[in-house]
Amino acid sequence: MSENSTAATDLTSQYTAQVASDLERNVKEQERVTAEIAALQEQLTVLQHDHTILVNMQQALGLVLAPVESAAAPEPAAEAATEAAADEAAPGAATVPAPRRRGSAKSGAEKPRRTKKAAARTAPGKQARKSSAAKAERPAAQAARTEGPKLVELVRRHLSEQKEPRSAAEVTAALGTAHPERTIRTTVVRSTLEGLVARNQAQRTKQGSSVFYTASDTDTQAPKGDADPS
């Protein structure tokens, strides 16, 4: 009986020591796992915080890039409106298609050439209208020049009617008042007066810096070959 009791006691002691050792090891393992869980939880918290910041940054960049992309890529409706405005601005010119966004440099170089060709087509019509208007004005101007006496006759007649010397400006003002339908210039009148002086049909006197003209005492009719300086 004593041997059995001793064996049982030894076995119990071994089991007790084994259980105590296992228990201690289990407690340490729990502590280790708990520490790892705390570290992982801290890492998870940091990652979640970084994730929130990155999401906010992504949204902010998306709001900034959206207007830039919309401005860089015009809508088809805007392009159609631009082409319609260009067609209305030049109804008589040849239709020139709007340049494509991805077109080659060759299409951009051909557009000015087409515009020049369209302008060249419309230019002859404008020139023809201008030439016809000029031709219509020429007979009227020639008729205005041929109607009435010549300027040299008017100047000679005016001098013969004056008792005092007259300057070229005074003669021009008097003739302009008497003949408002004619355009009489002082430079032309002065040239006419000098021509009469050269033919001894007028006399020239100088008072200071001013020049005056009077009819010649031996005033005669000008020969038929005289031309009107105007």
| 150-215 placed in CATH 1.10.10.10 | yes
Q: Where are the domains of the chain?
A: 1-66, 150-215
Report which of residues 49 and 88 the model is more confident about: 49
Q: How confident is the model at residue 23 (pLDDT cuts 50, 70, 90)?
A: very high
Residues above pLDDT 90, as percent of the chain: 40
- Confidence at residue 11, expressed as pLDDT on a 0 to 100 scale: 84
Q: Find, among 131, 144, 223, 133, the residue nearest to 180 by Cα.
A: 144
- Comparing 37 with 129, the larger pLDDT belongs to 37
The string of pLDDT tens digits covering residues 147-183 is 578 899 999 999 999 988 999 999 999 999 988 988 9
Q: ∠48-50-56 over CA atoms, to 5°?
A: 105
d(CA 95, CA 87): 7
Alpha-helical segments (H) within the chain: 2-72, 76-89, 105-146, 151-161, 168-178, 186-198
Element spanning 210, H or E: strand 210-215
Phi, then psi, of 71 in degrees rounded to 5: -75, -35
> Could you give the CA distance from residue 87 to residue 72 in angstroms, rounded to a whole number?
24
131 pLDDT band, cuts 50/70/90, is: low
Residue 93 has pLDDT above 80, yes or no: no
Residue whose pair of structure tokens reads 């289990």 in the numeric block:
26
pLDDT at 66: 73
